[in-house]
Amino acid sequence: MNKKLLEQLKKIRQDYFNSPGNAILSLLMLFLLVKVGIWFISWAFINAVWTGENNEAARPGGATWAFIIKKIRFFLFGFYPKEHIWRIIVTVALMGASFVPYFMKRIHHKVLVFIAHMIIWPLIIGFFLAGGIGLEQVSTNNWGGLSLTFILSALGLLYSFPIGILLALGRRSEQPVIRILSTVYIECFRGIPLITILFMSSVVVPFFLPSGVAIDKIIRVVIGMTFFQSAYLAEVIRGGLQAVPKGQYEAADSLGFKFGLQQYLVIMPQVLKITIANIGGISISFIKDTTLVLIIGMFDLLGIVKPLASDSNWLGMEPEGLIFAGLVYWGICFAISRLTYKIEVKANTLPAAGVKA
């Protein structure tokens, strides 16, 4: 036996078997882990059913993945009419393609690209997904599944960033009115649970709208989520602002930069770099928060599990549906987490902001 293995065994004995009580506890935990592991593997893989037309295919002690495979269209696109699904794919593809300018070296005014995004994305979504002009209208009640999750997350993050930055600057403003308004906004929306905001947007807001005026549920939800998220982002960005030394402002001042350009060219790049990890984390929680829309009757990736498992052919398929949805959420969040980490590493190979006086 080699020496390394012996040392590891010795360490295991020291850490887990250093007293009779600990030894019993360790063995018990090991036993449970193995037991659960074996059960899960046999349920998810060995006894699993991958094909079938209804829940008669199900086998006791095994997952019926056939349910997911049969219903994958609904998990991805909700109750969007089958013949129009290409419109969702085009929308998502266009939204993805609109990131290309950020990677182009020649484009200097990336902030303008961002503003263009804020205008173009709703137009793409309105034209292709909602339809009405040239394309057949599809009610937003039929939107759902992963594509709804994607759209809600994307729009929520898109709008909450600039608003969050403005709020953070507002809270540090020397103008008392701006400072107080920003503070009140931030504290209000951070103090209200997202569910409450969503309920208000779906129940209370229509009540106060003049009759004949209707704002679509999706728009109300996106606005509500933006209010909520921008307040959180504002605080993260404010933390970053506090980390930029005063000398940076003075140097920019002394070169003749006024407030706007100073923030854009000197301060914000440093702030965003400091806050990358926090912004990544907050983005992940925003994406997970979109699941709350199921409370107000929207069928996002999580919300659609229940109606699908109520199909008389597939009764009792909630566990498979929920596990699948969970895996997809985990995959998305893990990808963002890795991406954030990569950006952070890349940014840190450049010198850290503000260090070295």
Partner 1 sequence: MTAAEVKETAAPEATGNAPIIEIRDLNKWYDDFHVLTDVNLIVNRGERIVICGPSGSGKSTLIRCINRLEKHQKGDIVVMGLELTEDTKDVSLIRQEVGMVFQSFNLFPHLTILQNLTLAPIWIRKMSQREAEKIAWKYLKRVNIAEHALKFPSQLSGGQQQRAAIARSLCMQPKIMLFDEPTSALDPEMVNEVLDVMVTLAEEGMTMLCVTHEMGFARRVADQVIFMDEGKIVESQSPDKFFSEPENERTRQFLKQIHAIS
- Give me the residues that bind partner 1 (CB under 8 A), please: 245, 247-248, 250-258, 261, 265-266, 269-270, 273, 350-357
- Please say whether the beta carbons of 318 and 306 come within 8 A: yes
Structure tokens at 40: 């899960």
Find the shortest distance in angstroms from Cβ 250 to partner 1.
6
Find the shortest distance in angstroms from Cβ 265 to partner 1.
6
- Please say whether the beta carbons of 159 and 114 come within 8 A: no
Structure tokens at 161: 């960033």
Find the shortest distance in angstroms from Cβ 108 to partner 1.
9
Nearer to partner 1, 252 or 302 (CB): 252
Structure tokens at 353: 């902001």
Find the shortest distance in angstroms from Cβ 273 to partner 1.
6
Nearer to partner 1, 42 or 173 (CB): 173
Nearer to partner 1, 4 or 258 (CB): 258
Find the shortest distance in angstroms from Cβ 343 to partner 1.
14
Nearer to partner 1, 307 or 354 (CB): 354
Nearer to partner 1, 45 or 259 (CB): 259
Q: Which of 78, 88, 76 is nearest to 143 (CA)?
A: 78
Nearer to partner 1, 92 or 274 (CB): 274
- CA torsion angle for 271, 274, 280, 281 (degrees, to 10)? -110
Distance CA 19, CA 60 (A): 41
DSSP 134: S
> Cβ contacts of residue 68 below 8 Å, gap of 6+?
75, 320, 321, 324
Find the shortest distance in angstroms from Cβ 263 to partner 1.
12
Distance CA 332, CA 325 (A): 11
